[in-house]
């Protein structure tokens, strides 16, 4: 795998994650991927998350940073601010984000880059896709799976994006695109992933070419307890998607 040292920075948003953060997984990832750095965005947590993140940062000096938001701003804003901070943390080929529950195993980041191939630096965006297929271990609640399929289909139609899975919390963005994608707050609190894709398309239009986006079929994804997204948010998400489609079609 042709990655230079410190080539990837992952932003991991954390809100009351003290009980869920998998310390052995973090250790394994940092040990086996010397080109990886982690930026934890503590989104106003009220449990012991802040102390835990401070311990992790002290354990891995130079490999881990913590961004502290005094008040809960929501996942979209935590990731946005974390990505902008990551731009000031030395060289990187990609700045991405990964869910703190590690529903996608953190060590599978290496598979992401391997799947992209030797020309991965030419890509603008790499996104995870929870495709149920032979050889993969994709474990989702049935209602979330089918709502997700309906949602992704509507997103593809409204935004003209042939994407299978918009909402997977594992994405890598070429560092050259990060400032444009994250410089302004997102419209949506819940489906900012769709807006990331819409902004990437807008960047492509400015450059006069379609963005190079790769959707990676995940090896594993396991539904974790404690999710803050509920079924009732689906209706709100559809309304926000219509707003996104209107905004970025202008």
- Pick one of 3.40.605.10, 3.40.50.620, 1.10.3720.10, 3.90.550.10 as the CATH number of 8-249: 3.90.550.10
For tokens 């102390």, name the residue.
Answer: 51
Angle, helices 192-207 vs 175-182, to 10°: value is 110
Q: If DSSP codes are grouped into helix, strand and coil, which group holds residue 34?
A: coil
Its pTM stands at: 0.89
> Which residues of the chain, if any, have pLDDT below 70?
1-6, 142-143, 145-146, 225-234, 250
Q: What are the beta bridge partners of residue 69?
A: 43
**Taking all residues of the chain, what is their mean pLDDT, rounded to a whole number?**
87
Tokens of 1: 């795998």
Task: Give the whole-angstrom CA distance, residue 2 versus residue 241.
Answer: 37
State residue 158's pLDDT score.
Answer: 75
User: Of the candidates 48, 27, 49, which has an alpha carbon nearest to the alpha carbon of residue 38?
Assistant: 27
Q: Are 105 and 181 in contact (CB under 8 A)?
A: no
Tokens of 74: 């929501």
């Amino acid at each position: 795998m042709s990655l230079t040292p410190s080539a990837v920075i992952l932003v991991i948003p954390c809100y009351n994650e003290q009980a869920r953060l998998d310390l052995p997984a973090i250790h394994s990832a940092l040990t086996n991927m010397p080109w990886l750095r982690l930026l934890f965005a503590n989104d106003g947590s009220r449990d012991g998350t802040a102390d835990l993140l401070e311990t992790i940062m002290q354990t891995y000096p130079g490999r881990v940073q913590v961004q502290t938001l005094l008040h809960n701003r929501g996942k979209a804003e935590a990731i946005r601010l974390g990505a902008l901070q990551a731009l000031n943390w030395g060289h990187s080929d990609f700045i991405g984000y990964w869910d703190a529950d590690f529903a996608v195993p953190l060590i599978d980041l290496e598979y992401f880059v391997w799947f992209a191939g030797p020309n991965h630096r030419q890509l603008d965006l790499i996104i995870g896709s929870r495709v149920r297929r032979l050889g993969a271990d994709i474990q989702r609640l049935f209602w979330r799976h089918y709502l997700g399929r309906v949602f992704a289909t509507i997103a593809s139609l409204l935004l003209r994006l042939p994407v299978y899975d918009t909402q997977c919390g594992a994405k890598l963005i070429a560092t050259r695109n990060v400032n444009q994608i994250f410089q302004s707050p997102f419209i949506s609190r819940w489906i900012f992933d769709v807006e990331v894709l819409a902004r990437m398309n807008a960047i492509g239009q400015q450059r006069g070419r379609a963005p190079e986006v790769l959707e990676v079929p995940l090896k594993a994804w396991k539904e974790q307890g404690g999710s803050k997204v509920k079924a009732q948010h689906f209706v709100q998400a559809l309304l926000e998607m219509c707003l996104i489609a209107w905004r970025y079609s202008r």
